[in-house]
Amino acid sequence: MDNKKAYREVLGERLKAFREERGLTAYKVAQNGNIRIEQVKAIESGETNYTIDAFLGYIAGSDLYMYFAEKSQGRKKPHDFEDIANMAIKNDPIL
């Protein structure tokens, strides 16, 4: 396996950073999202044993939103999650 982080690890790190920037505890995210604290920790650490329902609970509990966009045709690394996340932040007029 190469040195690149798995998508779920990058996603977990990004979600944890968003949570901390908002001053939310993991417990509060669990409470707001109606999920268990163990699920919050699994998502943030990049584990693979959580469900889509837990993930959606995390998003709701963090007061985040998701959106989907088509991949750019000219992107050199079309599946690089970190690159995609950084572009989304750069292009979001609210941020």
pLDDT tens digits for range 22-79: 999 999 999 999 999 999 999 999 988 889 999 999 999 999 888 776 666 666 665 5
Q: Tell me the C-alpha distance between 62 and 21, whole Å.
A: 11
95: pLDDT confidence band, cut at 50, 70 and 90? Answer: very low
Evaluate whether residue 51 is within a structural domain. Answer: yes
Backbone angles phi, psi at 89, to 5 degrees: -65, -45
CATH code of the domain containing 53: 1.10.260.40
Domain containing 29: what range? 7-91
Evaluate whether residue 2 is within a structural domain. Answer: no
Residue 3: partners with Cβ closer than 8 Å, 6 or more residues away? none
Evaluate whether residue 13 is within a structural domain. Answer: yes
Evaluate whether residue 1 is within a structural domain. Answer: no
Evaluate whether residue 12 is within a structural domain. Answer: yes
Evaluate whether residue 87 is within a structural domain. Answer: yes
Counting other chains too, the contacts that 85-94 makes at CB distance below 8 Å and 24 or more residues apart are: 85/10, 85/11, 85/14
Q: Tell me the C-alpha distance between 19 and 87, whole Å.
A: 19
pTM: 0.71
The number of distinct structural domains making up the chain is 1
pLDDT tens digits for range 1-23: 344 567 888 889 999 999 999 99
